[in-house]
């Protein structure tokens, strides 16, 4: 860790993600001298390779814009590189390295053969027109196409990249590569190789995981109050499934503040989240404007200020601080499942764990998204499409298996489960074993 800090000073998200994993695996690692001999940790924390490229495009005013694009191929021990693309103004190599590192362990937990990768750009979708989004995606793919392939590296969506962007990216990929295998990207449209339920999968999977966690602790989700953050794809899927399971989603949020929904979100409001996302306005206040008798907008506040039983961060890394954790617990919150990648700051996780709050980390909770991407790859490779029931039942099985792996590796002497340790050790052991068997490369 000291060596890494000296080598990459200022890469705070990356160092934070690595530190969490290394702290979790320390005891197990020390029991395996063969890992140390093969320098597994030193090799695992370093991406296999990083592509960085200029992306130049023309905006609606005719002005030339330049952004930076990246693809980080992190680890291929258990399969071809796999992971999303993030378009957000704050994207840096440190952010994508943390996401690629996390993705490697998350993908290992899914039970499917996928390595870890992440990519994206500092392009800011906020306020952009549809035409600008398309031209940016085309310019981005002009460089990316040479790095990817259905058996090499398969990108998908992440923050700022949804079905629309995947469509534009795939269109340009075909044109440049003259390859027509739709399996080169996941999260595609339903008429051209996309898996049914992929849009819902991250949120659905997170709620299946939460159900298993609650069941293991002798509790039930029905009737509970839930606060979500964000209003994007993940919060949308989580809202649908939480509501279906009988919980009440009483808060969603955006960069502008929180919407308090005392009686719980309705299907009409959930559908409206898609309109808000497509508008590129990035404002949750629009929900309260559209449904003034159901939602109350509170400017500048987070979802964590609303009293709930269960907190589900669904937006961005480090979105829940130690102060937020204290406020949640003071207001009666007793469970937090991280749906965003590294959504909780380390201080928040420690506060939850030291105060009896059931806590599970993003790489376990949100793995249903990439798992369903893996199922999309399988359907593409075998030229078939499964029904919603088939995909949903496979997703459910995968989330159950991830929960079991966490329990297996994370159960403490007092019988409680440390889900952070469980997820990290389970993911690490699988990747480490594969690296060991494949020699020093
Ligand atoms: O963080 C993630 O797991 C994703 N953004 C989904 C990646 C994928 O390849 O579906």
Instruction: State pLDDT tens for residues 21-50.
Output: 999 999 999 999 999 999 999 999 999 999
Angle subtended by helix axes 12-30 and 346-354, to nearest 10 = 50
Find the mean pLDDT for residues 73-82: 98
Confidence tier at 403 by pLDDT (50, 70, 90): very high
Task: Give the nearest ligand 1 atom to 103 CA.
Answer: 3
Q: Where are the alpha helices (DSSP H) in 113-266?
A: 130-144, 163-177, 198-216, 233-244
pTM of the entire predicted model:
0.98
Local structure of 187: helix, strand or coil: coil
> CA nearest 26: which of 1, 48, 7?
1
125 lines ligand 1 (CB under 6 A): no
Angle ∠(244,326,252) on CA atoms, nearest 5: 35
- Active-site annotation holds for 39: no
pLDDT of residue 234: 98
pLDDT of residue 309: 98
Task: Give the nearest ligand 1 atom to 114 CA.
Answer: 9
SS3 content of the chain, % helix, strand, coil (to 5): 50, 15, 35
Local structure of 194: helix, strand or coil: coil
Q: Of 118, 224, 294, 363, which one is the catalytic site residue?
A: 118
d(CA 6, CA 138): 37
d(CA 72, CA 29): 26
Beta-carbon contacts of 241 under 8 Å, excluding residues fewer than 6 positions away, are 200, 203, 204, 206, 207, 208
369 lines ligand 1 (CB under 6 A): yes
d(CA 248, CA 259): 14
The residues facing 119 across adjacent strands are 71, 85
pLDDT of residue 267: 98
Q: Cβ(371)–Cβ(205) under 8 Å?
A: yes
Mutate to test the pocket of ligand 1, among 156, 338, 363 (most ligand atoms within 8 A of CB): 156
- CA of 86 relative to ligand 1 center, distance in Å: 10
158 lines ligand 1 (CB under 6 A): yes
Residue 184 DSSP class: G
Local structure of 114: helix, strand or coil: coil
317 lines ligand 1 (CB under 6 A): no
pLDDT in tens, 95-144: 999 999 999 999 999 999 999 999 999 999 999 999 999 999 999 999 99
Local structure of 252: helix, strand or coil: strand
pLDDT of residue 180: 97
d(CA 32, CA 73): 27
d(CA 375, CA 135): 29
Residue 320 DSSP class: B
Confidence tier at 253 by pLDDT (50, 70, 90): very high
**The dihedral sign for the CA sequence 291, 294, 299, 301:** negative
Confidence tier at 438 by pLDDT (50, 70, 90): very high
| Percent of all residues in the chain with a pLDDT value above 70, rounded to a whole number | 100
pLDDT of residue 297: 98
pLDDT of residue 254: 98
Local structure of 33: helix, strand or coil: helix
pLDDT of residue 110: 98
> CA nearest 329: which of 299, 302, 356, 364?
356
């Amino acid at each position: 860790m000291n060596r890494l800090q000296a080598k990459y000073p200022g890469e705070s998200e990356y160092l934070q993600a690595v530190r969490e994993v290394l702290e979790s695996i320390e005891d197990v690692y020390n029991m395996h001298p063969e890992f140390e001999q093969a320098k597994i940790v030193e090799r695992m924390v370093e991406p296999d390779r990083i592509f960085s490229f200029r992306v130049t495009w023309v905006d609606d005013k005719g002005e030339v814009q330049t952004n930076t694009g990246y693809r980080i191929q992190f680890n291929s021990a258990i399969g071809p590189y796999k992971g999303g693309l993030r378009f957000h103004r704050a994207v840096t190599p440190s952010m994508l390295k943390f996401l690629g590192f996390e993705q490697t362990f998350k993908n290992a937990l899914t039970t499917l053969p996928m390595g870890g990768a992440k990519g994206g750009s500092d392009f800011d979708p906020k306020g952009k027109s549809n035409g600008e989004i398309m031209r940016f995606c085309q310019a981005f793919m002009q460089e990316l196409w040479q790095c990817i392939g259905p058996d090499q590296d398969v990108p998908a969506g992440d923050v700022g990249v949804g079905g629309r962007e995947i469509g534009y990216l795939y269109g340009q990929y075909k044109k440049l590569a003259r390859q027509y295998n739709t399996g080169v990207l996941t999260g595609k449209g339903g008429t051209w190789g996309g898996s049914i339920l992929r849009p819902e999968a991250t949120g659905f999977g997170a709620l299946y995981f939460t159900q298993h966690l609650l069941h293991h602790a002798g509790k039930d989700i029905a009737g509970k109050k839930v606060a979500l953050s964000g209003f994007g794809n993940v919060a949308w899927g989580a809202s649908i499934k939480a509501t279906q399971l009988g919980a009440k989603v009483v808060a969603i949020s955006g960069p502008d503040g929180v919407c308090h929904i005392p009686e719980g979100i309705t299907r009409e409001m959930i559908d409206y989240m898609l309109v808000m996302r497509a508008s590129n306005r990035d404002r949750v206040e629009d929900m309260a404007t559209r449904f003034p008798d159901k939602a109350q907008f509170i400017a500048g506040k987070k979802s964590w200020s609303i009293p709930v039983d269960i907190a589900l961060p669904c937006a961005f890394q480090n979105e829940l601080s130690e102060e937020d954790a204290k406020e949640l617990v003071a207001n009666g919150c007793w469970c937090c499942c991280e749906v965003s990648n590294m959504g909780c700051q380390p201080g928040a996780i420690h506060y939850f764990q030291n105060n009896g709050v059931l806590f599970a980390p993003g790489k376990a909770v949100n793995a249903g998204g990439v798992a369903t991407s893996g199922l999309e790859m399988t359907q593409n490779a075998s030229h078939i499409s499964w029904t919603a029931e088939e995909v949903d039942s496979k997703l459910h099985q995968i989330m159950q298996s991830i929960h079991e792996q966490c329990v297996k590796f994370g159960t403490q002497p007092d019988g409680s489960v440390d889900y952070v340790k469980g997820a990290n050790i389970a993911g690490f052991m699988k990747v480490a074993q594969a690296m060991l068997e494949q020699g020093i490369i």
